[in-house]
Structure 1
Amino acid sequence: MKPVVGIIACNRTVGVENAHAVMERYVSAATVYGDCHALLIPPIGGLAAARALSARLDGLMLTGSPSNVQPGLYGDAETGEGPFDPGRDAVSLALIETMTTAGKPVFGVCRGFQEINVVLGGTLRRDLGYGQNGFIAHHAPDSTSFDQQFDHVHEVALTPGGVLAAACGKDRLIVNSVHYQGVDKLGEGLNVEARAQDGLIEAFSANIGGAQLLGVQWHPEWKPEQNPDSQVFFRLLGAALRGQDIGAQHAKL
């Protein structure tokens, strides 16, 4: 039987009602290239719900989102800029903890990458969109259309001997860049997998008590059929869901 990955949903307003939503591109990329089944996780419930869910899942994937992680969750007293999604914050952070404790894989994309960092004691910075403070612009101009936002790209250098370098068989990738926030202080136990040319951490990995973690700041779920390097992220997910070691000793995927 195929393994089952839980994919976190976000709170969205549909008409006048609240809805729990996941963009189809995440589900499609995970199930096609990870060769797995998916269950969508509603962003409601606390730690008890997270414990119950973690027992029923083979792994967890945390998606990107228009919302930002609340600054107070990583010790920042400033309010920051929304939108925020407290329900998602509560469920995602609890699930990362319970899945890691259970030794099950956790993969993150964009916001999900940031959530993993926060759970492991890391912090975020919020000044990355417009090319300031020594950083390149990590987001297209606000006037850019939705599709064109994903045409905003830059290069990342992969860590020699890292999981991504080994799986992609490359030392550099061109990745899309659609984020205003990113890693400031790296969370405990995380290994850098990729950096942008301005030094910003763009990917990390870890093996914590047997739980395999992999996160990327970019969006591999965006048109992966056109990008074999993006497919690698989800192939690694599929391998981890099956209990395979995704460490750098494995051959190119």
Structure 2
Amino acid sequence: MRHGKSAARPLLGVVACNRRLGDEIAANVMQRYLIGAARYMDASLVIIPSLPDYIDAPRIAASVDGILLTGSPSNIASHRYGDDEENAEGPFDEARDETVQRMLDAAIDAQKSIFGICRGLQEINVALGGTLRRDLGAKHHAPSDASFESMFDHRHPVALTEDGVLSRALGDTKAVVNSVHYQGIDGLASALSIEARAPDGVVEAVSGSIGASRIIAVQWHPEWKAEADPQSQAIFQLFGRALRGVSDIPASS
């Protein structure tokens, strides 16, 4: 049996998307999320497929130390936050929507921590009773014909909440972040606190606690070229501390 540092790493469950690969549908997680989490959270990883009828969410939640919800090209189905579907824009991944809802409920019941990136922040907000807006447009996303690399070069400043969890972790009250999203938080879930805002007021990061479950999520992509960005590394390290039950987030009252 192999022994070493990896044996002591906490186990992080990463929820997969459903994405077409050739003629079939694959359970998909981009490696940049996995590498960022493994390297800077110092976590071992397990991928959770978005097949809600074939997974045992409570059993999985009991087996891992936390859950990571990544970004995705898909949007959350608007009926999940009570919005009019007439003008909703896909693509959608409703199997992921349902899997995430079940996994978040189970993780909270099991008192495990939850982390979100981009779509993941939106999923957390919706799962906890918040709503989304779909009118962000060019302020928060590069032009639709932009190359993949230049999408992540689309950046804007954010103001970090003074003495907030994220501000303390980054040692600053501001950051410049990449911005690759058309949707964002509208009504904030009551269990969450704002950790960062864009200049136009859009919520860019949140934190919260429900019992011993700690919740941290950002709207941007710290996994993108994290090796060259100390602030991105600090965000993953913050995730990693919460994964181990060590967190600056106050317990819920």
TM-score strictly above 0.5: yes
| Alignment partner, residue 42 of structure 1 | 49
Tell me by how many angstroms 1:221 deviates.
Answer: 0.5
Structure 1 residue 121 corresponds to structure 2 residue 123: no
Structure 1 residue 166 corresponds to structure 2 residue 168: yes
> What TM-score results when the alignment is normalised by the length of structure 2?
0.93
**Alpha-carbon contact 1:46-1:94 (below 8 Å) kept:** no
Q: Deviations over 1:180-224 (max 9, x none)?
A: 000000011100000000011000000111100001000000000
Distance 2:233 2:100 in 1: 24
**Alpha-carbon contact 2:12-2:45 (below 8 Å) kept:** yes
Distance 1:184 1:56 in 2: 33
Tell me by how many angstroms 1:35 deviates.
Answer: 0.5
Distance 1:114 1:171 in 2: 23
| Alignment partner, residue 34 of structure 2 | 27
Distance 2:235 2:53 in 1: 29
1:9-88 matches, cutoff 5 A: 9-46=16-53, 49-79=56-86, 80-88=88-96
Tell me by how many angstroms 1:47 deviates.
Answer: 9.5
Look up the SS of the partner of 1:150 in the other structure: helix
Choose from 184, 202, 205 the match for 2:204: 202
- Structure 2 residues not aligned, in runs of 5+: 1-7
Distance 1:120 1:9 in 2: 20
Moved over 6 A (4+): none
Tell me by how many angstroms 1:241 deviates.
Answer: 1.4
Q: Deviations over 1:1-23 (max 9, x none)?
A: 11000001000111101110100
Choose from 123, 142, 145 the match for 2:144: 142
**Matched residues, number:** 242
C-alpha RMSD of the superposition = 1.2
The one-letter amino acid of 2:175's match is: L
Distance 1:47 1:122 in 2: 27
Look up the SS of the partner of 1:106 in the other structure: strand
- Structure 1 residues not aligned, in runs of 5+: 131-136, 249-253
The one-letter amino acid of 2:59's match is: A
Choose from 75, 85, 100 the match for 1:92: 100
